[in-house]
Structure 1
Amino acid sequence: MASKEIEKEIPTYITLYKDGTVERPRQTPYAPPSLDENPHVSSKDIIISQNPSISARLYLPKPLPTQPQKLPILVYFHGGGFFFESAFSQLYHNYFNTFVSRVPVLVVSVEYRLAPEHSLPAAYDDCFAALQWVASHSSNNISEPWLIDYGDFSRIFIGGDSAGGNIVHNVAMRAGSEALVDGGNVKLLGAIYVHPYFYSSYAIGSESASEHEKSLGYIVWDFVYPNAPGGIDNPAVNPLAPGAPSLATLGCSKILVCVAGIDSIRDRGVWYYDAVNESGWHGKSEIFEEEGEDHVYHIFHPETEKAKKITDRMASFILH
């Protein structure tokens, strides 16, 4: 049998064949939600939209808060380069079971559409729609009792790692120009960028100028958003590109940027943090660095002491 022809690929990460099939060798297996099995956390899956297809896994800590005390809401966007991983994967399910057992927060982990079947900006649109859906529960009993019964809509946060950290930026910028809901006591309080993916046509910091166009950051963007106006200097991935909207318009009142010392995109997180501070934005900014650690170390090993350290920093940011 003849081997299938490859349309394009990022070796060891993803292959798109000319017949339209896709292989994602690094994808971790599906994990079911655990409504009753976990002693510290309940989780369940919900549908946000049928067209486009957007869903989420919700996490609630046990024991539940007593009324009228309610929980901050964290709307989370998983990593995976915009083209693999899932809110329903073993990797993220394990992570949030650990996270929510330490942090009293209601998590909405969003399952957005992936490239190459759905090129960007599909993921941006899906994640903003998910945030709007969450916020809409503040004034209407839309569909999800966990949000209505336990969510504090004056304390909504968005967060994400890697590509999800990039989505956080794009959703926060959009929230600065579009109301989430009409009226109500809804507030997008903060944004958490964990090892966020940003890039540009020029190297910064420790990046190699001579190898820049061959780097994974460059290759991923071309794969997931091949028709991006401006290419790698599209404002969605290069917030400092010519003509990009001002970072002063970020639609939240505080941010936390987390970087890892030996992460290849560590300098991009610092670059973004500095750019926000220099933009005239009036919010409060924090940066957290874990030296000697690589990209999303806490997602892969959520039980380690260093993972607990970043979790506790995120908890402090959300709760205080």
Structure 2
Amino acid sequence: MGSLGEQLQVMEDCMGLLQLLSNGTVLRSQTIDLITQQIPLNNHKTVLFKDSIYHKPNNLHLRLYKPISTSNLTDTATRLPVVVFFHGGGFCFGSRSWPLFHNFCHNLASSLHALVVAPDYRLAPEHRLPAAFEDSEAVLTWLRDEAVSGGVDHWFESGPGVDFERVFVLGDSSGGNIAHQLAVRFGSGSIDLKPVKVRGYVLLGPFFGGEERTESEDGPSEASINLDLLDK
């Protein structure tokens, strides 16, 4: 912590959208929220959605998406599988409420006829890794608790049944990294999650980085997502 008379300096600058000052203060621009809100929300009548809290100590929420059905599906073959989607954003940006991610999950629920779970997780640099990984584990623990309790959330009790033995974890970019971490932690048959069974992990353009360059990092650098930005 510098003295009161010391002039603050910008130590890290992420495209002007997020700045880390020399005293540890994090400044977030409202620009990115304004940009994302310009994307229209899907308003099709084929999917219902609602928000729910999954981790009270950190006030973390998730959004549930369920396709509308007039039939009461109860047998295993027709119950809804579960898709858990972790959004991207370089571990620093993103929310379940962003229209881009909302529309994607809305379409997933409709096209796959699945229950989609889209959680928020703590973002860096205010909450450095492994905070996001810990939150992702909490999501699967929450799902396990719902399965064990028979569905405390009324969405698991009414309408199409939910098949907790057919769970798939999907992640985009940094969310793909999170999905990878969960695959290493839980695999497909972890007793820690019983009766939930994760049948597969889908990584969409997963973000990985380390001391050694990956093949994609060795290739031509993109205009905005360049190595200088990724290394931060």
Q: What are structure 1's unaligned runs of at least 5 residues?
A: 223-320
1:208 matched to 2:224: no
CA contact (8 A) 2:108 2:114 kept: no
Corresponding residue for residue 113 of structure 1: 122
Identity %: 31
Where do 1:151-300 residues align within 5 Å?
151-176=162-187, 179-181=191-193, 183-184=194-195, 186-205=196-215, 207-208=217-218, 216=226, 219-220=229-230, 222=232
TM-score w.r.t. the length of structure 2 is: 0.78
SS in structure 1 opposite 2:127? Answer: coil
In the TM superposition, residue 53 of structure 1 has moved relative to its aligned partner by 2.5
* Alpha-carbon separation, structure 2, partners of 1:152 and 1:30: 35
* Alpha-carbon separation, structure 1, partners of 2:176 and 2:227: 14
CA contact (8 A) 1:48 1:54 kept: yes
CA contact (8 A) 1:82 1:115 kept: yes
Query: What are the superposed Cα offsets for residues 125-180 of structure 1, whole Å, 9 maximum, x if unpaired?
Result: 00111011112222214631223443201101111100000000001111139633
Where do 1:12-31 residues align within 5 Å?
12-17=16-21, 18=23, 20-24=25-29, 25-27=31-33, 28-29=36-37
In the TM superposition, residue 11 of structure 1 has moved relative to its aligned partner by 2.4
* Alpha-carbon separation, structure 1, partners of 2:168 and 2:71: 19
Query: Superposition RMSD on alpha carbons, in Å?
Result: 3.1
Gap change, CA 1:194 and 1:65, over 3 Å in 2: farther
SS in structure 2 opposite 1:180? Answer: helix
In the TM superposition, residue 31 of structure 1 has moved relative to its aligned partner by 9.2
1:38 matched to 2:49: no
> What amino acid sits opposite 1:208 in the alignment?
D
> What amino acid sits opposite 1:124 in the alignment?
F
Corresponding residue for residue 50 of structure 1: 56
In the TM superposition, residue 19 of structure 1 has moved relative to its aligned partner by 6.8
* Alpha-carbon separation, structure 1, partners of 2:220 and 2:98: 37
Gap change, CA 1:202 and 1:218, over 3 Å in 2: farther
2:131 to 94, 102, 122: 122
CA contact (8 A) 1:43 1:59 kept: yes
Q: Give the count of matched residue pairs.
A: 213
SS in structure 2 opposite 1:137? Answer: helix
Gap change, CA 1:32 and 1:63, over 3 Å in 2: farther
2:148 to 130, 139, 145: 139
Give the number of the structure with larger relative contact order, counting CA–CA contacts within 8 Å between residues 6 or more apart: 2
CA contact (8 A) 1:76 1:160 kept: yes
* Alpha-carbon separation, structure 2, partners of 1:165 and 1:156: 16
TM-score w.r.t. the length of structure 1 is: 0.58
